[in-house]
């Protein structure tokens, strides 16, 4: 289980990588990172 602090750190890293992928123009990587960001933003299961 991820602590809120870890979750926040992972989200920051994913956002950075997402921006880099957009600048590179890689649609597959951008879509992958977008899905990862959506998953990390969902509340953890009980």
Model confidence over 12-43: pLDDT tens digits? 999 999 999 999 999 999 999 999 999 998 87
Given this model, what pLDDT does residue 27 score?
96
Model confidence at 4: pLDDT above 90:
no
pTM: 0.82
Domain segments of the chain as ranges? 7-40
Nearest to 20 by CA among 6, 9, 7, 33: 33
């Amino acid at each position: 289980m991820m602590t809120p602090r870890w979750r926040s750190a992972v989200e920051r890293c994913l956002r950075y990588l997402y921006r880099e992928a957009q600048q590179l123009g890689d649609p597959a990587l951008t879509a992958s990172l977008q899905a990862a960001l959506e998953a990390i933003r969902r509340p953890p299961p009980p």
